Amino acid sequence: MFKYFAAYRKEWLILIRDPAGLVLLFLMPMVMVVVLSMVQEFGWSTVSREPQVPVLFVNNDRDSVGDKFQTGLNEARIFTLISEIDSVPVTQEMARQMVLEGTYQIAVVIPERTSERIRAKIRLLVNKTMTSLMMPDQDLLAGVTNNDSVEILIYFDPAVRNSFRNAFLSATKEFNAKIESRMIFETFQEELRKYFPQFNMPIIDYEQSVYFTEIFPSGVEEELLPSTTQHNVPSWAIFAMFFIVVPLTSSIIKERDEGNLIRLMTIPVSYMTIFLAKVGVYLVICFFQFVLMVLAGIYILPLFNMPPLEIGTHYLAIAILTIASSLAALGYGILLGTLSKTHQQAAAFGAVSIVVMAAVGGLWVPVYLMGSVMKHVATFSPLNWAHAGFLDIFLRGSTLKDILPELIKLFVFFTVTISIAAIYRTIKPPIST
Amino acid sequence: MTALSAIAIRELTKFYKGSEELAIDHISLDINKNEIFGLLGPNGAGKTTTISILCGLFPPTEGTVTIDRLDIRTDHEKIKHIIGIVPQEVALYPTLTGFENLRFFGNMYGLRGKLLKSRMDEYLSRFGLEKFARKRVVTYSGGMKRRVNLIAGLLHKPKILFLDEPTVGIDVQSRHVILEFLRELRETGTTIIYTSHYMEEAEKLCDRVAIIDSGRIIAIGNPKELVEKNPEFKNLENLFLGLTGKDLRD
């Protein structure tokens, strides 16, 4: 243990001799978590409090349907409708051109006579129904043809993601369905009033009869709302933690390049002692990096009008999972630093492999959305194990016992990687001949 | 192996995978206790490979080596306690001070407390580094770095000391101090194995030298006697060039 602590002290001294580097080690992951969480929150959140996406809106209808569309989309508070630019009303051609140029991502064009044509279509429908009830009304058919369909044009920037396009189309179609059904309801009401004027029927507002209540089962008493923060902070925090691989590999390669590893190999001290001293120091860094990132989620994100991170009350489970995740990252870093011949190799492979493991592990795209092959591959990513563990604790209120499988996998990964590194170094000394 | 042998090498052979030639080709020699033994040779001759095997950095392909009667294949860990290495590169942590570097390497040898401090003080004083001990190595001159590099291999007072070109690229004063010290060290019973490209230095310092080329020993003996046996060469450097040729080596 004496040699371990001596090596541990040496590692700390080397780290603190580069105070700027040390500050960056803590600061950059925190900045990353805050910035990327904000980008994702404002880009994808469905619970945004402020309209986010500017949409060009061309209302050539200038009647009830066009107006209702405009009001409805504005009230949805997801989009900012733009009908005029520099006091000039937006035309269809302007809208098409600006989407083509990428100035705007979406443009909606409500064609002329939209309201009139929808009304005609509805009158036709109502007349058919009334005729079948032996109450035909020829007035309803005035000016109606069978081809009076309405085509609302929506221009999309090709750069818009499919998922966002689908979300926008769903919202628009749903809104249109509401307008149409309301108009059908109102036309029927009017028609019935004609037949039964003695009843003085009031205009009844159609009210939605089916409501959807979202429930997120959680192991804690107080239900946790799975906000984007709950998903983003653990994802980016784990991603940042694994980036410890870059400075760690650099430290290993530097020690080798400076000739110190060769000297150490001729001294009665094991590689494991040297490796574990590095792990000990960088484990403290990783742990406090994670603490800072979590604190940023709790205290800094709300300053930007985002929901705070809820971490529940299982602090011991969080701490142990943080240690296990850090060890997995450090084991990988030690292995990479040992196998890499140059800084460039380690930095390039280290960074790219972490991005790949993060992507494969479901940090950016949830595993349940992946194909069957990728779902299987995801189970081999240590970032996936860590992520699954944190989501279990943060969103499902899981305990230490519940996340035991993830913990075991992370500890085994650490043991295997650091053992391979030690065996490799024993077989292949870092010496050029 | 004789009773005087500190190191006994028999039929030592090293072959690297992918290489067409043997890096070391059946070398046999004894290095006596309290001897300064010079291992000389052009680049790529096999010096570093030989020293690396003796230090236990990798095993030989064939042959046996005993160091202080300990077999390098089976007693590698015990051997680490009795040998000291001064690598050719300055193997120190540049952002640590000289003191911190020496304390770390001393600790790795199991030294601590007053014993370590007295050893550090002794050597820092001997090499004129007391005033600079608390400064970072990165601020040292080349000669100062070499001196700290040497001390790091001496702190545990090894029985056998390997020095790989310890005086390369340093000022005359530092070289003088180091060579004087090595002579003193021999008097205290330390065996020194030393490689160098400075023939004049080797001629003056070494009790015996072995000239290696292409993995084989092509001459071995006391430098003065070797020159005397080959009167066509006026000094060790001429002898070295005569035996190894004047062609440039990689």
User: pLDDT category, A50, cuts 50, 70, 90?
Assistant: very low
A66 in a structural domain: yes
pLDDT for position A73: 79
How many structural domains are present in chain A?
A: 2
Q: B52 to chain A, minimum CA–CA distance in Å?
A: 9
A223 in a structural domain: no
Q: Tokens representing A20?
A: 């700027």
A168 in a structural domain: yes
- Together in a domain, A381 and A289: yes
Q: Is the pLDDT of residue A329 over 90?
A: yes
Element (H, E) at A400: none
pLDDT for position A308: 87
Q: Which residues of A touch B100 (CB under 8 A)?
A: 10, 13
A222 in a structural domain: no
pLDDT for position B248: 61
Q: Which residues of A touch B98 (CB under 8 A)?
A: none
- Together in a domain, A246 and A312: yes
Q: Name the β-bridge partners of B62.
A: B13
Taking the C-alpha atoms of residue B76 and residue B53, their distance in angstroms, rounded to an integer, is 11
User: What are the pLDDT digits (tens) for A97-120?
Assistant: 888 888 888 899 998 888 888 888
Q: What distance, in Å, lies between the first and last C-alpha atoms of chain A?
A: 34
User: What are the pLDDT digits (tens) for B21-66?
Assistant: 888 889 999 998 889 999 988 888 888 888 888 888 888 899 999 9
Q: Tokens representing A270?
A: 């094991």
CB contact, 8 Å: A14 with chain B?
yes
Q: B230 to chain A, minimum CA–CA distance in Å?
A: 32
- Together in a domain, A184 and A326: no
Q: Over chain A, what is the mean pLDDT? A: 83
Last residue of a domain, one of A177, A199, A221: A199
DSSP single-letter state for residue B231 = T
**Region of residue A35 (left: phi > 0; alpha: psi -120 to 50; beta: else):** alpha
Q: B178 to chain A, minimum CA–CA distance in Å?
A: 19
| Residue that has been written with the tokens 């085994």 in this structure | A412
A328, A308, A325, A329: which is closest to A317 by C-alpha?
A: A325
Q: Which of B16, B81, B108 sits opposite A433 (nearest CB)?
A: B16
Taking the C-alpha atoms of residue A74 and residue A69, their distance in angstroms, rounded to an integer, is 8
* Range B125-144 average pLDDT: 91
Taking the C-alpha atoms of residue A20 and residue A13, their distance in angstroms, rounded to an integer, is 14
Looking up residue A83, the CATH number of its domain turns out to be: 3.40.190
Most confident of A165-169, A311-315, B123-127, B171-175: B123-127
User: pLDDT category, A219, cuts 50, 70, 90?
Assistant: low
Q: Name the β-bridge partners of B70.
A: B67
- Together in a domain, A282 and A369: yes
User: What are the pLDDT digits (tens) for A370-417?
Assistant: 778 888 888 899 999 999 899 888 877 888 898 999 999 999 999 999
Q: Which residues of B touch A (CB under 8 A)?
A: 16, 23, 48-49, 52, 55-58, 77, 80-81, 83, 85, 87, 89-96, 100, 103-105, 107-110, 112, 136, 152-153
Q: Which residues of A touch B57 (CB under 8 A)?
A: 262, 265-266, 429, 431
Cα–Cα distances (Å) from B56 to A272, B80, B194, in that order, read 17, 8, 16
- The residue in chain B having the minimum alpha-carbon distance to the alpha carbon of residue A8 is B104
Taking the C-alpha atoms of residue B90 and residue A84, their distance in angstroms, rounded to an integer, is 72
Q: Is the pLDDT of residue A47 over 50?
A: no
- Together in a domain, A140 and A25: no
- Together in a domain, A193 and A296: no
- Together in a domain, A59 and A40: no
- Together in a domain, A285 and A404: yes
Taking the C-alpha atoms of residue A245 and residue A273, their distance in angstroms, rounded to an integer, is 19
Give the architecture-level CATH label for domain B5-92+154-244: 3-Layer(aba) Sandwich (3.40)
User: pLDDT category, A431, cuts 50, 70, 90?
Assistant: low
Q: A272 to chain B, minimum CA–CA distance in Å?
A: 13
Look at chain B and count its residues: 250
- Together in a domain, A259 and A396: yes
CB A283 within 8 A of CB B78: no
Q: Is the pLDDT of residue A183 over 70?
A: yes
DSSP single-letter state for residue B233 = -
- The residue in chain A having the minimum alpha-carbon distance to the alpha carbon of residue B48 is A433
Write out residues 160-189 of A within 8 Å (CB-CB) of B: none
A134 in a structural domain: yes
Query: In a mutagenesis test of the A interface, which of B72, B93, B139, B214 is the best target, namely the one with the most A β-carbons within 10 Å?
Result: B93
- Together in a domain, A13 and A113: no
Taking the C-alpha atoms of residue B205 and residue A69, their distance in angstroms, rounded to an integer, is 98
A224 in a structural domain: no
User: pLDDT category, A67, cuts 50, 70, 90?
Assistant: confident
A215 in a structural domain: no
CB A359 within 8 A of CB A365: yes
Q: What does residue B231 show for φ and ψ, rounded to 5 degrees?
A: -60, -15
Q: Is B174 exposed, middle or buried (0-12, 13-18, 19+ CB in 10 A)?
A: buried
User: pLDDT category, A48, cuts 50, 70, 90?
Assistant: very low
A266:B80 CB<8 A: yes
- Together in a domain, A141 and A104: yes
Where are the extended beta strands (E) located within B89-244?
160-164, 191-195, 208-213, 216-221
- Domain residues for the domain of A174 are 53-199
Q: Are strands B36-40 and B208-213 parallel, antiparallel or unpaired?
A: parallel
- What percent of chain A clears pLDDT 90, i.e. is strictly above it? 24
A334 in a structural domain: yes
Last residue of a domain, one of A199, A223, A242: A199
- Together in a domain, A101 and A186: yes
CB A128 within 8 A of CB A142: no
Last residue of a domain, one of A182, A199, A216: A199
Taking the C-alpha atoms of residue B31 and residue A82, their distance in angstroms, rounded to an integer, is 91
